[in-house]
Structure 1
């Protein structure tokens, strides 16, 4: 073991010892007779329960107990220690107050634990889960000014359901309940569980809401339990309608009129008897819809497409929610409100009112951005964005933007040339499918047809200029809140180079360096950056996510496919490898298949800690009219959202050593195959303050051998060429903005000699030059994934 490694082991041990001492010292701040409450343990004593059932019951009960002990991290209580050592502030604001009462945490004492109250919670919870006649006791164990409470539960055997009865009568509502009793959550043989009984009441209410019983509620259902039917811990359940249920809740309602106020304002519109606007002379009848839009701000067909209720329809909650969701997803209304007003009580009819408050149709936003990245570039960007949310009076959204920016590199191993970007973009999004074919849009989300045109001017000073034109036309639709599809039928990219300097050209062709008196070899890879490019073809992506759910484990997946020039290449018989390369307008078009998958997993250890992981796999396959993938469509790794221990786009392909480049500037390294894995341990320290420990691994490779990129081709030894980095991060999460700082260092460098690629034996954080070369600070907005 070398000296530097021993030194850092000693430092880590010293820090660990200091933290342990600080944790123990929390008790010295307690007054005489006070005990720090360290938590509770619940022991379940029963001969009839298995080990697993006891454990599940104990865990569930522990969550119910109050108060919770002071928060801890790896067995330590740093927030309590901060509270103890921070001086008492003289006023309820300022840094001292923030440190002591916001960052710090007041000690939870044993005296604040109401054991009698907790025992009642334990008994009530147990009985609600079917452990009738449960008994609970408690005891306190204290040592060194710390105390914990041991609760003992004697639950007895758990009662199970012996029989479920739905008493029948002649009422219409009861007949509907009888129709769905086979779908009941209450099953014979299952344990008695109050939460399941509550869910059963909600199930019945949901079914009745689909059958026109708008005014029904779960509270109208009572479930009576009889545990005297046998002496074998069994219970019989009776699911009945309460005798006090209002008459209105038992009636089925149908839709009479549907009235839309698309320019509703609570302050300006006169209210009717039932709290909705009264009808006015400006009403317009469109099919079955009554629309009050005196200024004609919207085309009536917008609402005909969004709303599901028709005159005479039986009310159902599905169409109710679908209509509201579609109105919201139009993106033009700030508030969407729906009310039902009885119009004919004798025939059980009501009118459906939709009260819609639109956003401001037009907005102009100026954005400025200062940025820095891991390649030592510092720059600024200016964006001017114009948006119209109702461009053609059909909730169409138009966006127009112009932007400009520059990046200047300071320092770094090699000098680099500055980057200037200018551009403009126009987008039109139509809230329907515009196509010659029929498309089913009966979902909660309005499908959209999107068109865009864009131009970007990019100048790398003293090197070259690129003019980039793009045009797209396609569709975006969601099956539900979890599944989304995007299909661009037209996706055209045209790249035209200009002003290629002699400095750049000689890097491509090779030259004689008069300073070193050496011949610098040619680097044909640089030619690909300034090649004219014509790329066209469809693209498709599918996204699945359930991260919006309150679950312990959630996932995200996005798969995409890019098919360029396939039909044209097939029809024209293009074969670039055989010298038969086809051109359009004097430019060879690209032909390839590119697929990429991005899978993410978020596992919540508890409410404050999460393990987040990501796996990206990508492949680009040129064929037909192309020998190589277009440079702009290849894969790149490194940087603040990728492998953070390596500067952006400087890693790969394979074991190729970028330090061997003869160019006087860094050339972005790219590949046809991408493999990347990231995992992070994320912990919340205080409200907006989060920390993370992460490991990143991956690389890119070329499909075909390239003599200018030795080691860049994908082979069976690709795993030995995977780069690995690790680091620590600090995240300031203000909900609307996340400022992220990640400090990373490489653990495995693929372009080192095989067998010597791990860097543990080379680490020397005490050396200034080592820190400069191997500690990479990434400053970014948002989480990396």
Structure 2
């Protein structure tokens, strides 16, 4: 078999080499440019020689045609598709993969030499030498460039050429922290960066009209016998007076309901905190809106406060557009004046949205779901967002067997009220955060009827805060989180299931969950050109301690509150994701997730809604949703007991996925997932489910391929996966997969299809 494989691969490579040969297509009077190499010589040690080489190599133009496995496939596709009668396949290959030929006639080595010489002088290597040699063949030509670096010029001193004005004194202070220190190599790019640093610093000091082009560096190389130079920073001639004086904010005008069609005669002005709020019918209370504006009258112009003010106003959630404009007013000799105008265009206040969904689950349940959402974006004229969501879902078992006839009905109603500020029993006014902290109050109820087996009523209430500390960091804390689960009706059949599985019974017991939870996210994954992306997310959830303490103080019955059993547990998880972008279109995405829940006190297991699950489109995709574990436990293959999800107190999972483009918006992926869930305590009804030191030998592993339609604002994902390691099999049989795609039985049992919206991580 090995010999046959090697022979087949050899024959295939010969066919590809012949079929993708481009020599016969190259015109007689042309040769194909196949690239260049660069040789650097230097008598002195250059610390950043790799950066210099990279910069010089970036000047070599044009880029030669690309190769795939040593063959000019793109060029071959272009030639084949450019024939007089190319055919459908060749046309497609040219359109999708074709590359225009790069002939040596398009290459100008002398011009490249001059560019290299100029770039070297810009980096302090004056009087360097550049040369090139053309290596011409019958059909292919390359170029060899040789650069001999001279001894670079190093900075001896940096000074400002004048010091009479206030702006001169500010620049002198800034120069003290300049990265242009003695011994720094001459570099035009570093000088430009220094001017931009000074410009940014002066803008923050109120110099509204300052421009980095007002500054100029002059170098004096005749300062010693060594290759040294002195650097002088001065202003160009004819710099306008407005560019070198600080500006103050004279007036602040806010238009909370701005419209170009609004009649100015019908507008009223209310002044609060030195700010004028101009509107007709009051759409936003000025005393509340004033808290979001960081600008202050008679303060110096600040680009940071301007930016933060725009961010804060945009984060309220009430406005479609936020436009902060400055108008220059009369200037004095020592400073200028600015009028700040803030134009706010509101979103539509009320909206109703209906969502009709089709739900299909791995346990062969399917059915429709309807969501109705009413939203008021400015309930009390303070940016409050009120949402009322109603949900109806019906699912029925579409397969035959013991499970036929089962159905599920879910009804839900939830109200959310979000205040774009901190609501606390003590007035709190924050002024300098990246965005506005928000207060969220939620109240909801849900009714579930599962196939005549049981009815479950859930009531929830939450009170908390969430905010963005900066572009990448998000916090959410809910000091009040209440959840009441009431199993109102059970059938004899379901009671038998609970009797056989005490763990499941304890999960479904009527419980009162009262606790506190905190979520932290650090998200630096986005950005097409960011080579390394990182996400860190964690959630901490603690319940029951406050009620237990209250019972001890009041002498109440331990483990109950208002006649309800309450849950005691601690739960935490950590989600780590790392993206390595090979280039703009190719990415290796990885994730590692770990979570632990510890029931204690009067609780022997986590509440069902707080347990961990594994398997499904956003987890281990080679296994159906919530069908992995706990541990090596193997559930019943049929019967009503299979109607319930498999869960655990501990979860560990790792994923890796290679993402690449196919055609237009169609992307591809190859992935592997591994993980499982375990129980903290032994459970006779779930043998093999307890976490042990041999946990790593109980991991489920799967691999597969995926197709994704990436349409910018959303992604449709189709993943096909198959198990590589099944944890509930005997230890010597867990690894392995026949991969018999042609077998209908194999496809039914081992090929798992997942459809989802968005990437899995």
Normalised by the length of structure 2, the TM-score is 0.90
1:603 maps to which of 576, 580, 593: 580
For the pair 1:558 / 2:533, whether they are aligned, the reply is: no
Helix, strand or coil: the match of 1:57? helix
Contact 1:137 1:152 in 2 (8 A): yes
Structure 1 counterpart of 2:301? 315
How far apart are 1:262 and its partner, in Å?
1.7
Alpha-carbon distance in 2 for matches of 1:581, 1:15? 78
Distance 2:138 2:370 in 1: 61
Question: 493, 496, 503: which one pairs with 2:486?
Answer: 496
What is the aligned partner in structure 1 of residue 189 from structure 2? Answer: 195
Counterpart-to-counterpart distance in 2, 1:529 and 1:317: 55
Confirm whether residue 62 of structure 1 aligns to residue 57 of structure 2.
yes
Aligned to 1:702: 679
Deviation at 1:568, TM superposition (A): 1.1
Deviations 1:252-307 (A, max 9, x none): 11121111112223x4369xxxxxxx898622222311111111111002331111
1:368 Cα deviation after fit: 2.8
Q: d(CA) in 2 for partners of 1:648 and 1:27?
A: 54
Contact 1:88/1:96, CA 8 A, preserved across alignment: no
Which whole-Å CA distance do the structure 2 matches of 1:409 and 1:653 have between them? 25
| C-alpha distance in 2 between matches for 1:771 and 1:217 | 67
Does structure 2 retain, via aligned residues, the 8 Å contact 1:730–1:740? Answer: yes
Q: Quote the Cα distance in structure 2 between the aligned partners of 1:118 and 1:380.
A: 66
Relative distance call for 1:112 and 1:697 in structure 2 (3 A) is farther
Query: Aligned match of 1:582 in 559, 570, 582?
Result: 559
- Equivalent positions of 1:487-526 (< 5 A) are 487-509=477-499, 522-526=500-504
Q: How does 1:420-439 map to 2 (within 5 A)?
A: 420-437=409-426, 438=428
Choose the corresponding residue for 2:518, options 540, 550, 558: 540
**Secondary structure at 2:52 match in 1:** helix
Distance 1:133 1:366 in 2: 72
State the match for 1:393 in structure 2: 381
SS of aligned partner of 2:42: coil
Contact 2:508 2:608 in 1 (8 A): no
Which residue is 1:349 aligned to? 337
1:103 matched to 2:93? The reply is no
Task: Answer whether contact 2:501 2:685 (CA < 8 A) is retained.
Answer: yes
Contact 1:280 1:292 in 2 (8 A): no
C-alpha change, 1:355 and 1:84, in structure 2 (3 Å) is: same
User: Could you give the per-residue CA deviations for residues 682-709 of structure 1, whole angstroms, max 9, x where no partner exists?
Assistant: 2234552322222211111111011111
Shift of 1:450: 0.6
Offset, 1:485: 1.0
- For 1:172-251, list aligned pairs within 5 A: 172-251=166-245
* Partner residue, 1:626: 603
Would the aligned equivalents of 2:364 and 2:397 in 1 still touch at CA under 8 Å?
yes
Q: Residue in 1 aligned with 2:246?
A: 252
* Match for residue 480 of structure 1 among 452, 470, 480: 470
Question: 2:420, 2:437 within 8 Å by CA — same for their partners in 1?
Answer: yes
* Count of aligned pairs between the two proteins: 750
Q: CA 1:142–1:663 in 2, change beyond 3 Å: closer, same or farther?
A: farther
Q: State how far apart, in whole Å, the 1-side matches of 2:321 and 2:339 are.
A: 20
Secondary structure of 2:613 counterpart: coil
Residues 774 and 308 of structure 1: is their aligned pair in 2 closer, same or farther, counting only changes over 3 Å?
same
Separation in 1, partners of 2:401, 2:152: 71
Unaligned runs of 5+ in 2: none
C-alpha deviation, 1:394, in angstroms: 0.9
CA separation of 1:150 and 1:775: change in aligned 2, threshold 3 A: farther
Q: SS of 1:184's equivalent?
A: coil
Q: Is the 8 A contact 2:171 2:198 kept in 1?
A: yes
Partners of 2:285 and 2:84 in 1: CA distance? 61
CA gap of 1:725–1:142, structure 2 versus 1, over 3 A, is farther
Distance 1:26 1:374 in 2: 51
State the SS of the aligned residue for 1:658: coil
Residues 64-97 of structure 1, C-alpha deviation per residue, up to 9 Å, x if partnerless?
A: 544444556666666656555558899xxxx999
Change (3 A) 1:35 1:557: farther
Corresponding residue of 1:449:
439
**Post-superposition offset of 1:528:** 4.4
After superposition, the CA RMSD in angstroms is 3.3
Asked whether the equivalents of residues 409 and 418 of structure 1 are also in contact (C-alpha less than 8 Å), the reply is: yes
**Cα shift readout 1:290-325 (whole Å, capped 9, x = no counterpart):** 111111111002331111222221222222222111
Shift of the 681–11 alpha-carbon distance from structure 1 to 2, 3 Å rule, reads: farther
In the alignment, the residues of structure 1 paired with residue 605 and residue 84 of structure 2 have an alpha-carbon distance, to the nearest angstrom, of 67
| In 1, Cα distance between equivalents of 2:63 and 2:367 | 48
- Which digits, 9 at most, give the CA deviation of each residue in 1:723-780, with x for residues without a partner? 22122222221111111122222222211212332115x4444433223322222221
Post-superposition CA distance 1:77-124 (Å, at most 9, x none):
66656555558899xxxx999946753333342244454444444334
Partner of 1:48: 44
- Residue 616 in 1 paired to residue 593 in 2? yes
Query: Counterpart in 2 of 1:127?
Result: 121
Deviations 1:409-463 (A, max 9, x none): 5559984744433322221111110012436442120110011122223333243
Q: How far 1:137 sits from its partner (Å)? A: 3.6
Task: Check 1:142–1:676 CA distance in 2 against 1; reply closer, same or farther (3 A cut).
Answer: farther
* Structure 2 residue 751 is the aligned partner of structure 1 residue 775: yes
Note closer, same or farther for the CA distance 1:381–1:199 as it changes in structure 2 (3 Å cut).
farther
Deviation (angstroms), 1:141? 4.9
SS of match in other structure, 2:176: helix
Match of 2:652 in 1: 675
- For structure 1, the residue ranges without an aligned partner over 5 or more in a row are 271-277, 510-521, 575-579
**Distance of 2:664 and 2:40 partners within structure 1:** 35
- For residue 622 of structure 1, report the CA deviation from its aligned partner: 0.5
Question: Structure 1 length normalisation: TM-score?
Answer: 0.87
Q: In terms of mean alpha carbon deviation, does 495-504 or 302-311 score higher?
A: 495-504
Match of 1:367 among 324, 347, 355: 355
Structure 2 Cα separation of the partners of residues 408 and 45 of structure 1: 76
Deviation at 1:555, TM superposition (A): 0.9
Where do residues 75-94 of structure 1 align in structure 2 (5 Å cutoff)?
83=78, 85-86=80-81
C-alpha separation between the residues in 2 aligned to 1:368 and 1:231?
82
Superposed displacement of residue 132, structure 1: 3.0
Give the 3 Å change call, closer, same or farther, for CA 504–556 of structure 1 in structure 2: same
Give me the whole-angstrom Cα distance separating, in 1, the residues matched to 2:266 and 2:165: 40
CA contact (8 A) 2:153 2:229 kept: yes
Deviation, 1:159, is 3.1
